Amino acid sequence: MEKTYNPKKIEEFLYNFWEKNGFFKPKYLKKPTFCIMMPPPNITGSLHMGHAFQQTIMDIIIRYNRMQGKNTLWQVGTDHAGIATQILVERKIYIQEHKTRQDYSRQDFIKKIWTWKKKANNVITKQMRRLGVSVDWQREKFTLDPDISAAVKEAFILLYQQNLIYQKKRLVHWDSKLETVVSDLEVEHRSVIGKMWFIRYPIYIENTFKKCTKYIVVSTTRPETILGDTAIAINKKHLKYSKFIGKYAISPLTNRKIPIIEDEYADLDKGTGCVKITPAHDFNDYQVGYRHKLPMISTFTFDGKIKNFSEVYDYKGKKSNFYDSYIPLQLQKLDILSARCKILEYLKNLNLIEKVEERNITIPYSERSGIIIEPILTNQWYLKTSKLSQEAIKSIKDKRIKFIPKQYENMFFSWMNNIEDWCISRQIWWGHRIPAWYDNKKNIYVGKNEKAIRQQYSIPKNIQLNQENDVLDTWFSSGLWTFSTLGWPKKTRLLKLFHSTDVLVSGFDIIFFWIARMIMLTMHFIKDKTGQSVVPFKQVYITGLIRDEHGQKMSKSKGNVIDPLDMIDGISLESLIKKRTQNLLQPSMSQTIVKNTIKTFPLGIAPTGTDALRFTFSALAANTRDIKWDMSRLLGYRNFCNKLWNASRFVLLNSQNHNFSCIVIKDEMLLVNKWILSECNDVIKFYRVSLDSYRFDLAANVLYEFIWNIFCDWYLEFVKSIICTCSEQDIYDTKNVLIHVLEVLLKLAHPIMPFITESIWQRVKLIKKISSKTIMLEPFPKYDVMLCNKQASLYVNWIKKIVVFIRNTRLKMNIKTNKLLSLFLFKTTDQQKIIIRHNMLWIKKIAFLDHIVLLKKTYTCKLAIKHIIDGSEIIIPMINVLDKELEIIKIKKELKKIGYRIFNLKKNISNVQFLRYAPEKVVLQKQMQLNELNTLYTQLSEQMNIFKNMKK
Distance of CA 766 to the CA centre of its chain: 39
Query: Which whole-number Å values give the CA distances from 684 to 483, 485, 641, 702, 749, in the listed order?
Result: 35, 35, 20, 9, 11
Q: Which amino acid is at 516?
A: A
d(CA 775, CA 63): 10
Q: Return the pLDDT at 44.
A: 80
Instruction: List the 187-202 sheet strands across, edge first.
Output: 215-220, 187-202, 353-366
Q: What is the pLDDT of residue 208?
A: 58
DSSP annotation of 345: H
Q: Is 768 in a helix, a strand, or coil?
A: helix
Of the candidates 847, 852, 851, 843, the one whose C-alpha atom is nearest the C-alpha of residue 817 is 847
Q: Which pLDDT value is given to residue 818?
A: 86
- The helix (run of H) or strand (run of E) holding residue 716 is helix 716-725
Q: What is the pLDDT of residue 213?
A: 72
Judged on CB neighbours under 10 Å (0-12, 13-18, 19+), 349 is exposed
Rounded to whole angstroms, how far apart are CA atoms 110 and 116? 10
Angle, CA of 267, 271 and 277, to the nearest 5°: 65
Closest by alpha carbon to 557, among 725, 367, 767? Answer: 367
Q: Which residues pair with 503 in a beta bridge?
A: 36, 539
The residues with which 181 forms a beta bridge, in sequence order, are 174
CB-count exposure of residue 398 (10 Å: 0-12, 13-18, 19+) = exposed
pLDDT per residue over 195-227, tens digit each? 999 999 999 887 655 567 789 999 999 999 999
Sheet strands (E) in 832-907: 849-854, 864-869, 872-877
Helices (H) and strands (E) in the chain, counts: 29, 31
Distance CA 225, CA 221 (A): 9
CB-neighbour burial class of residue 189 (10 A; exposed 0-12, middle 13-18, buried 19+) = exposed
pTM: 0.87
Cβ-contact 43, 80 below 8 angstroms: yes
Contact 38, 514 (CB under 8 A): no
**Strand pairing class (306-313; 274-277):** unpaired
- Rounded Cα distance, 657 and 252, in Å: 97
CB within 8 A of 275, min separation 6: which ones?
218, 232, 233, 234, 263, 265, 266, 267, 285, 288
Strand 537-543 versus strand 501-507 pairing type: parallel
Dihedral in degrees, nearest 10, Cα atoms 168, 169, 174, 177: 100
Among candidate residues 620, 563, 510, the one with its CA nearest the CA of residue 47 = 563
For residue 210, what pLDDT is reported? Answer: 58
Cα of 929 vs its chain's centroid, Å: 52
Q: Is 556 annotated as a binding residue?
A: yes
Supply the pLDDT for residue 1: 85
| CA-angle at 289, arms to 287 and 295, nearest 5° | 140
Q: Are 122 and 140 in contact (CB under 8 A)?
A: no
CA 924 to chain CA centroid, nearest Å: 54
Q: At what angle do helices 82-97 and 106-131 cross, to 10 degrees?
A: 110
Q: What is the mean pLDDT of each run of 10 residues along the chain (952 residues)?
A: 92 96 88 94 83 96 97 95 90 90 93 89 88 96 96 97 95 93 88 94 76 85 95 92 92 93 90 92 95 96 95 92 90 95 94 93 88 94 93 95 94 91 95 96 94 93 94 96 96 94 92 92 95 96 90 79 91 90 72 89 94 97 89 94 97 92 88 96 97 97 97 95 92 95 98 98 95 96 93 93 90 83 90 90 91 82 80 84 75 89 87 82 88 87 72 52
Report pLDDT for 201. 95
The answer to whether 296 and 312 are in contact (CB under 8 A) is yes
